[in-house]
Amino acid sequence: MSAVGMPANLKLVFEHLDAVRELDRYLNRTGSDKDLERYVKEVFRPDLQEHVPTLKTWHCDLDESGAKWYPDSWKLKGDLYLSLYVLLPGPLDPDDDKPSVNIYVPTDWRGHKVFSDRSTSCVRTLLEAGFELAADQGWNEEYPVGKYVPWLEPDGSFDESRLVERIRLEVEEVVALETQIADTIRETLAQTAQTRPSRNSRTAKPHRKK
């Protein structure tokens, strides 16, 4: 009877047992999520803003998923804004395992679907640059246009500076459309205002929000 031997992956665990145990403790205590949030706040955001200076003049909101940037001209209504949203999920997130650069549009804004339309000029420009539509990929509708950016190099290695550079390239594609996006928002706001039922009209049907 021939001995098959220990499975390769299990053998790898034993060969690096101390490191594997430490990594297991780190991951099970959600250390990686906390470190990623701190990294986005203290390192990634200022670094990206140095590489894309326009972002320094925009508002920036941070959350557990990444960072949003938006200029005043991207206001939709009240305190709602369309924004450039860089998502940085945890590296072991089972649902979303790559960073992405997105246009974020709140779904409760009436003009939301304009940014899911291939015929919209700024959307068409992003699609030509390799971005994709959420409708085609089954993504969350709040991110109607986006593009994944790999964590790793083609050879499987990790290089932080090259990761930031990959993200920068895609961010600049969106930033370059600042005026075009603002024009689209303004035109859409004007159109929705014209189609809103009059309160004084007895025959007008009320708008039913989803």
Please provide the DSSP assignment of 168-208 as one string: HHHHHHHHTTHHHHHHHHHHHHHHHHHHSPPTT-SSPPPP-
The CA-atom distances, in angstroms, between 210 and each of 38, 107, 110, 181, 201 are 36, 9, 10, 25, 23
3-class DSSP state of 112: helix
Half-sphere exposure of 31 (CA within 13 A, CB side): 8
- Mean pLDDT of the 58-69 span: 95
What percent of the chain lies above the pLDDT cut of 70?
Answer: 89
Is the distance from CB of 146 to CB of 139 less than 8 angstroms? Answer: yes
Q: What are the residue ranges spanned by the domains of the chain?
A: 30-195
User: Tokens for 120?
Assistant: 């919209």
Is the distance from CB of 62 to CB of 40 less than 8 angstroms? Answer: yes
Per-residue model confidence as pLDDT tens digits over 134-181: 989 888 999 999 999 999 899 988 899 999 999 999 999 999 999 999
Q: What pTM, to 2 d.p., does this model score?
A: 0.82
- Mean pLDDT of the 69-75 span: 98
At 1 the pLDDT is 41
